[in-house]
Chain A
Amino acid sequence: MLIQLTDQPIDVAAVLQAVQADGAGAVNAFIGTIRNRSTGRRVVRLHYEAYDQMAVHQLRKVAEQAVEKWPMLQEVAVVHRKGTLDIGDVAVVVAVSTPHRAESFAACQYIIDTLKEVVPIWKKEEYEDGTVWVAAHP
């Protein structure tokens, strides 16, 4: 299991390599990237902040929950970026390997969806005329 929070660019190929397993017939990956628009405004760049220790702990818990739900999971890797990111940069990579493809899609989606709900990482969008902490207010 590879769980990482990094302030360096994510090497997607290395994350895929980390879930290589002889028993796997499927590798499924989700790659989250920085988009240039948000709620109609042009985004210049994004700033990610994390509660490092808790974020890594919670990332690991999410990955372990996935293994409980899909015991056929061979390998799981989750790498999340922090710091300042530009448009097109990779913010997060989730990769899983399973014997067959159906479970790989389901497990990968579970991990990214749950990550977005529970892992203490925050992003601040920077526009040409200001900044906003995403989802902070109703």
Chain B
Amino acid sequence: MKLTIALFGITREIVGSPQLELTVPAGQSVQELLAGLHQSFPALGQLRSLAVAVNNEYAQPDTQLHERDEIALIPPVSGG
């Protein structure tokens, strides 16, 4: 299945694009997605934390992803 990952802040700079399109096996979990991304972009591993948002909510590691999900990487937030 094809996933589109929105990128913000430092993750956008690490990947070098505001969006990433990936083809992954159906039923891939958040944890598996992160493992793949860490391999492709080792600098992600240096962040203090890296969460995944699915449809505007923070996802758990075992959350299964679907093709139409709105997915985003959430590096450490610093609003306020």
CA distance A32 to B79 in the complex (A): 10
CA distance A15 to B19 in the complex (A): 34
Q: Are B76 and A135 in contact (CB under 8 A)?
A: yes
Q: CB-defined interface of B36-80 with A at 8 Å, one 1/0 digit per residue? A: 000000000011100001001110000000000010101111111
Q: Are A51 and B47 in contact (CB under 8 A)?
A: no
User: Is chain A's interface secondary structure helix, strand, loop, or mixed overall?
Assistant: mixed
Known: A54-B53, A115-B80, A116-B77. A133 touches B10 (CB 8 A): yes
Known: A133-B9, A135-B48. A123 touches B72 (CB 8 A): no
Q: CB-defined interface of A110-128 with B at 8 Å, one 1/0 digit per residue? A: 0010011111111110000
B40 to chain A, nearest CB (A): 19
Contact-residue size bin, chain A (C-beta under 8 Å from the other chain): 20 to 34
CA distance A118 to B56 in the complex (A): 11
Q: CB-defined interface of B2-41 with A at 8 Å, one 1/0 digit per residue? A: 0000101110010000000000000000000000000000
Q: Are B75 and A115 in contact (CB under 8 A)?
A: no
A43 interface residue (CB < 8 Å to B) = no
Contacts of A134 in B (CB 8 A): 78
A91 interface residue (CB < 8 Å to B) = yes
Known: A92-B80, A121-B78. A136 touches B48 (CB 8 A): yes
List A residues at the B interface (Cβ < 8 Å): 32, 48-51, 53-55, 57-58, 80, 91-92, 112, 115-124, 133-138
List B residues at the A interface (Cβ < 8 Å): 6, 8-10, 13, 46-48, 53, 56-58, 70, 72, 74-80
User: Can you identify 7 A-B contacts, CB atoms within 8 angstroms?
Assistant: A49-B8, A57-B57, A112-B80, A120-B72, A121-B79, A124-B9, A136-B9
